[in-house]
């Protein structure tokens, strides 16, 4: 019975994926921003990051730099911020294509603003209460600081977009999310 109990316990344990020490040197180098949090990343998310690391060599230097920057930002987020970012990403993915394009356009407009204007917008649009997620299409401001680019203190979209779902960073180019 003891053997059966040990087997049952092992069989029901979730697949955590490889530990950090089991990654090859190239994977460790590419995924370095996630090193400190790797032990907290669940198996399926680890697999997603490993797939990204596999594609990394075929990316342009610009894409690689963007990925590294986003991983660093992602790693700096709290667990709750990451969860909020994932929720926003799911909401945006459920929008019709024209609405997603509009969110993306507004995010790009915001990104092109000078830092001073971005800061003024952040101050004038307090974050919504993460305990009360708003349905897609509703929402007054940017949440979380979750998903990277929009993340940890995500920037607010341009004025007049308060009635739109906020983009989680870069809605035009959804980012893989992990942990």
Query: pLDDT band for position 135 (50/70/90)?
Result: very low
Q: Tell me whether residue 64 is in a domain.
A: yes
Tens digit of each residue's pLDDT (9 = 90 or more) over 79-105: 899 999 999 999 999 999 999 999 999
Query: pLDDT band for position 15 (50/70/90)?
Result: confident
Task: Give the per-residue pLDDT at 23.
Answer: 95
Q: Tell me whether residue 90 is in a domain.
A: no
Q: Tell me whether residue 150 is in a domain.
A: no
What mean pLDDT is reported for the chain?
Answer: 74
Q: Residue 136's closest CA among 92, 86, 81, 78? A: 92
Tens digit of each residue's pLDDT (9 = 90 or more) over 27-61: 999 999 999 989 988 889 899 999 999 999 999 99
Q: Tell me whether residue 71 is in a domain.
A: yes
Cβ contact 170:107 at 8 Å: yes
Q: Tell me whether residue 155 is in a domain.
A: no
Task: Give the per-residue pLDDT at 14.
Answer: 58
Dist. CA 30–CA 58, nearest whole Å: 13
Dist. CA 7–CA 15, nearest whole Å: 14
Q: Residue 70's closest CA among 166, 144, 168, 165? A: 168
Q: Residue 40: which domain range? A: 23-76
Cβ contact 98:105 at 8 Å: no
Number of domains in the chain: 1
Cβ contact 172:107 at 8 Å: yes
Ramachandran quadrant class, 147 (left: phi over 0; alpha: psi -120 to 50; beta: rest):
beta
| pTM across the whole model | 0.53
Q: Tell me whether residue 94 is in a domain.
A: no
Task: Give the per-residue pLDDT at 130.
Answer: 45
Q: Tell me whether residue 87 is in a domain.
A: no
Q: Tell me whether residue 31 is in a domain.
A: yes
């Amino acid at each position: 019975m003891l053997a059966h109990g040990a087997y049952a316990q092992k069989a029901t344990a979730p697949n955590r994926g490889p530990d950090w020490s089991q990654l090859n040197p190239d994977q460790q180098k590419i995924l370095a921003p996630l090193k400190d949090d790797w032990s907290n990343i669940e198996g399926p998310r680890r697999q997603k990051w490993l797939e990204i690391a596999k594609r990394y060599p075929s990316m342009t230097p610009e894409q690689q730099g963007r990925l590294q920057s986003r991983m660093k930002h992602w790693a700096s987020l709290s667990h709750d911020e990451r969860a909020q970012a994932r929720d926003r990403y799911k909401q945006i993915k459920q929008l019709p294509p024209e609405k997603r394009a509009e969110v993306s356009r507004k995010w790009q407009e915001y990104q092109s603003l000078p830092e001073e204007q971005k800061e003024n917008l952040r101050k004038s649009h307090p974050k919504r209460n993460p305990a009360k997620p708003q349905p897609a299409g509703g929402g007054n401001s940017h949440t979380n600081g979750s998903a990277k680019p929009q993340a940890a203190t995500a920037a607010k979209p341009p004025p007049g977009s308060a009635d739109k779902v906020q983009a989680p960073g870069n809605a035009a180019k959804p980012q893989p999310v992990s942990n």
